[in-house]
Structure 1
């Protein structure tokens, strides 16, 4: 008996299971092609989620940068710290999401 991931919910299940205890997916009635197609759909959905997150991170980064450019807040003011924080968080969040996307694409 081995532990595998359910193609429907990606949770750990036994390879002998006929029904996933988490999402109630009927594994016994599915062909290998259907299981692979479902796993592919799950992987693409995960990639799209991280792509959306990277766009949000980019918007946060650009928002902080553009605020600093147009408004030119005074040094050591709350506005300056907020803009710098948005730039830092957006940049790190974007980079982490891009690394995860590269990992997911190589995992194919």
Structure 2
């Protein structure tokens, strides 16, 4: 008896299970190639999710930057704080997502 990963939910299960107890996916009928294909599809979906997050973070960063640049809010006002917070949050979130994407691509 060995511990394997479910191809759909990626949780640890016994290789003797006919069905995953976590996601109810039928794993007994899958051969090695089908398991690899499901794992590959899951990895691609995860990469796409983090790519979408990074675009959204970039949008927040640019929105704060352009608001600060074109609207010229007075320093120390709520508008100024909102713009600088959007810039900081967008930048940090974007960088975190890019690091996650790089690590996901290196796993293969």
Q: Is TM (by shorter chain) over 0.5?
A: yes
- TM interval, shorter chain, is over 0.9
- Segments of structure 2 that go 5 or more residues without pairing to the other structure are none
Note the 1:89-108 alignment, pairs <5 A.
Answer: 89-108=89-108
Please report the TM-score for the alignment, with normalisation by the length of structure 1: 0.94
For 2:70 and 2:28, the matched residues in 1 are separated by 61
Offset at residue 52 of structure 1 (A): 0.2
Note the 1:52-63 alignment, pairs <5 A.
Answer: 52-63=52-63
For 2:73 and 2:3, the matched residues in 1 are separated by 56
Deviations 1:33-69 (A, max 9, x none): 0110000000000000000000000000000000001
Deviations 1:79-102 (A, max 9, x none): 000000000000000000000000
Please report the TM-score for the alignment, with normalisation by the length of structure 2: 0.94
* RMSD over equivalenced CA pairs, Å: 1.1
